[in-house]
Chain A
Amino acid sequence: QSALTQPASLSASPGQSITISCTGPYDVIASYNYVSWYQQHPGKAPKLLIYELTHRPSGVSVRFSGSRAGITASLTISDLQAEDEADYYCASYTPPKNLVVFGGGTKLTVL
């Protein structure tokens, strides 16, 4: 059982925006800015989309953005494209315990 909770699946149509949530303990999500997000297409390794809650690595589309409200971090994908259909994972480093936890993953379907 993951320490971070994500919806198992979501769906939306091309051009729409969608938000994937990642809810965790206060001392993981709310206390630190260590949340990252990953995209994984079938048969491929995960790809980093967002680090430290809101930062995009070079080369990642501006359509991907991160935020947080309380104990929930979120990944928003705007102007959905067919190629955004994938699994998405949140993760967070937890300083007191020196470990990394992943969310259970969200399967995004673009209708």
Chain B
Amino acid sequence: QVQLQESGPGLVRPSQTLSLTCTVSGNFVNSGPYYWSWVRQPAGKGLEWIGQIYTTGKTHYNPSLRGRVTISLDPSKNQFSLSLTSVSAADTALYYCVKYIDSWDAFEVWGQGTMVTVSS
């Protein structure tokens, strides 16, 4: 059974970089037709796709984040990470890491989410 667990600081200062890590169990991050994804949700609002990385390292990002996003894989730790630069209050949200099945074109397994607040 695949499980995902987000970790990282809950508070980030404006203009700084938000860094989160997702630890995967039950599946190798460099194996299978999967994308490892990040999705966020501001309080009381809808879901927003941030981006994803394929098991080969190929990435796709939401163009609305204007080049501030980097997603990377660390197979040695079976983790993948999110880096979001130049954050503002608009980046305050619950951040989910998610397993996306390429052959299903769907987000199959979700982490529990981690809240990140951008504030000075």
Decide if A38 is an interface residue (CB 8 Å cutoff): yes
Decide if A64 is an interface residue (CB 8 Å cutoff): no
Q: Of A17-25, A47-55, A77-85, which stretch is located at the interface?
A: A47-55
- Give residues in A with beta carbon < 8 Å to B: 2, 33-34, 36, 38, 45-48, 51-52, 55, 57, 89, 91-93, 97-105
- Give residues in B with beta carbon < 8 Å to A: 37, 39, 46-49, 52, 60-63, 96, 100-101, 104-108, 110-113
Q: A33-B105, A48-B106 are in contact. List 10 more A-B contacts (CB 8 A).
A: A2-B46, A46-B110, A48-B107, A51-B101, A52-B106, A93-B105, A97-B63, A100-B52, A102-B46, A105-B47
Q: Give A89 Cβ to nearest chain B Cβ, in Å.
A: 6
Whether A34 lies near B107 (C-beta < 8 A) is no
Contact of A52 among B37, B52, B63, B105 (CB under 8 A): B105
Whether B96 lies near A102 (C-beta < 8 A) is no
Contact of A46 among B48, B61, B104, B107 (CB under 8 A): B107
Whether A102 lies near B110 (C-beta < 8 A) is no
Whether A98 lies near B108 (C-beta < 8 A) is no
Query: Which A residues touch B101, using CB under 8 A?
Result: 51
Q: Quick one: closest A residue to B104, CB to CB? A: A51
Q: A45-B96, A45-B112, A99-B60 are in contact. Are A36 and B49 (CB under 8 A)?
A: no
Q: Quick one: closest B residue to A103, CB to CB? A: B46
Interface centre among A38, A45, A89, A93 (most CB of B within 10 A): A45
Whether B105 lies near A34 (C-beta < 8 A) is yes
Q: What is the CA–CA distance of A36 and B47 in the complex, to the nearest angstrom?
A: 13
Q: Quick one: closest B residue to A95, CB to CB? A: B105
Query: Which B residues touch A93, using CB under 8 A?
Result: 105
Q: Quick one: closest B residue to A34, CB to CB? A: B105
Whether B106 lies near A102 (C-beta < 8 A) is no
Q: What is the CA–CA distance of A100 and B62 in the complex, to the nearest angstrom?
A: 8
Query: Which B residues touch A89, using CB under 8 A?
Result: 46-47
Query: Which B residues touch A52, using CB under 8 A?
Result: 104-106
12 A-B contact pairs sorted by A residue (CB < 8 Å): A36-B104, A36-B107, A45-B113, A46-B96, A46-B107, A51-B108, A52-B105, A57-B108, A89-B47, A99-B60, A102-B48, A104-B46
